[in-house]
Amino acid sequence: MLSIRYLLSPVNIPDQVIQLYEQAFPVEERRNLPAQQTLLNSGALRLALLENDNVFAGFVFYWQLTDFAFIEHFAVSPEQRGAGIGSAVMRLMEQEYPSIVLEVEPPHTIDAQRRIRFYEGLGFETYAFTYLQPPYQAGGQPLPMLLMQKGMPPEEHTFTRISTEIYLEVYGC
């Protein structure tokens, strides 16, 4: 049975989360671990552990912003993929947070296309406006990404408000 355990600050990032985080996201798409830990301890960043029959199944790093949750990183462990866990997690998250925003890579690779289809299948829509993810590493380059949303208006003024809040609160710029 799938469960989500929302961890309360302060919390040390579990080793299984660290391993999957580093495996699932390239270095340019993640914070260094001390910065991640600091944000968790401050309560700004939140961590949800995913368990399937009491076995680690993945994690969600997310932010509760003004009127939406921003999912910064979401990964299901390779051993647990393909069993519907990702969809079930998103449905459970929607019960807690009816408005959700997340970033995805543009559809230039098969994996990126698969991720976009996954979220679209859950009712997420892509904002049709240019979005650059600020660099996580000093001296890094911004990454072209897409913002997807569920439960938010699709208009440009909403996109602008959301992206501005993400830039300020999540990326500090």
132-172 pLDDT, tens digit per residue, is 999 998 888 999 999 999 999 999 999 999 999 999 999 99
- Coil, helix or strand for 23? helix
Percent of the chain scored above 90 by pLDDT?
83
The predicted pLDDT at position 143 comes to: 94
Dist CA 1 CA 85 (whole Å): 10
| Cα–Cα nearest to 148, from 167, 110, 111, 122 | 122
Taking residues 83-92, report their average pLDDT: 91
The predicted pLDDT at position 83 comes to: 84
Taking residues 85-113, report their average pLDDT: 94
Q: Considering the domain 2-170 in this protein, what is its CATH number?
A: 3.40.630.30
Q: Reply yes or no on whether the pLDDT at 2 is more than 90.
A: no
Strand 131-133 to 100-104 pairing: unpaired
The predicted pLDDT at position 11 comes to: 86
Distances (CA, A) of 137 to 30, 142, 147: 8, 10, 21
The predicted pLDDT at position 95 comes to: 93
The predicted pLDDT at position 157 comes to: 96
- The H-assigned helical ranges of the chain are 15-24, 33-42, 85-96, 110-121, 156-165
Q: 137 or 21: whose pLDDT is higher?
A: 21
Dist CA 169 CA 65 (whole Å): 8
